[in-house]
Amino acid sequence: LAEGRTLGTPIALVLRNEDADPSAYAPFRDRYRPSHADFTYDAKYGHRAWAGGGRASARETAGRVAAGAVALQVLESLGPVEVVAWVDRVQDLTSSVDPATVAAAAVEGSPVRCPDPDASAAMEARIREVRAMGDTVGGVVRAVARGVPAGLGEPVFDKLEATIGAAMLSIPAAKGVEIGSGFAG
């Protein structure tokens, strides 16, 4: 960057992990973590990064978040673009919000990032309940992008929807992507 503008070269971001503690992973030296890529990496490459997960670590997504902040600045340079994402469902608990009016402040005000106060409280209670049983929950994250100019992406192989789908499904634990009216038609 020079004077707040890119020079046309790649932008490099560095995120330092100040909280690394490989000893916390000692129990997984000789066994696979449930629902983790440990087994897949071992089967494919003959080894795995048991102390932290390596490329399969959830910390890998931190770089995506930082890059997303840069991408949002690029979008905003095209016009007034707003992107808001929130937890819409945890197990069978679903929020009752209008996606057209969800505000980022409402999302940020929730410990589970759900802008519906009643659903947020129920989700938080469910997460605590399931965690106490030693299990985890699944859910749905919903996002809206408002003010996106028409014509982004390419018409065939690098379509915006295809690029978004590939990026979203490369996030650890992501299992599906729905764009627009999606599966509802």
Q: pLDDT digit string (tens) for 35-75?
A: 778 888 889 999 888 887 777 777 788 888 899 999 888 88
Same domain, 74 and 86: no
Same domain, 24 and 95: no
Point out the domain boundary residue: 51, 80, 109.
80
Q: Which amino acid is at 148?
A: V
Q: What is the pLDDT of residue 57?
A: 78
Same domain, 63 and 97: no
Q: Which two tokens stand for residue 61?
A: 């997504």
Q: In which region does residue 151 sit, left (phi positive, over 0), alpha (psi from -120 to 50) or beta (all else)?
A: left
Point out the domain boundary residue: 32, 60, 80.
80
Same domain, 143 and 76: no
* pLDDT tens column, 139-154: 999 999 998 888 888 8
Q: Which two tokens stand for residue 96?
A: 């009752």
- More confident call, 120 vs 175: 120
Q: What is the mean pLDDT of the chain?
A: 88
Kindly report the backbone phi and psi dihedral angles of residue 171, in degrees, each rounded to the nearest multiple of 5, phi listed first.
-75, 130
Same domain, 45 and 102: no
Buried b (16+ CB within 10 A) or exposed e, 46-60: eebebbbbeebbeee
Q: Write the CA distances from 184 to 13, 77, 102, 178, integer angstroms.
A: 38, 33, 21, 9
Selection from 180, 134, 165, 121 nearest residue 34 by Cα: 134
Point out the domain boundary residue: 52, 80, 108.
80
Q: Rounded to 5, what percent of the chain is helix, strand, coil?
A: 40, 10, 50
Q: What is the pLDDT of residue 149?
A: 83
pTM of the model: 0.78
* pLDDT tens column, 1-40: 788 778 888 888 898 888 888 888 888 888 888 777 888 8
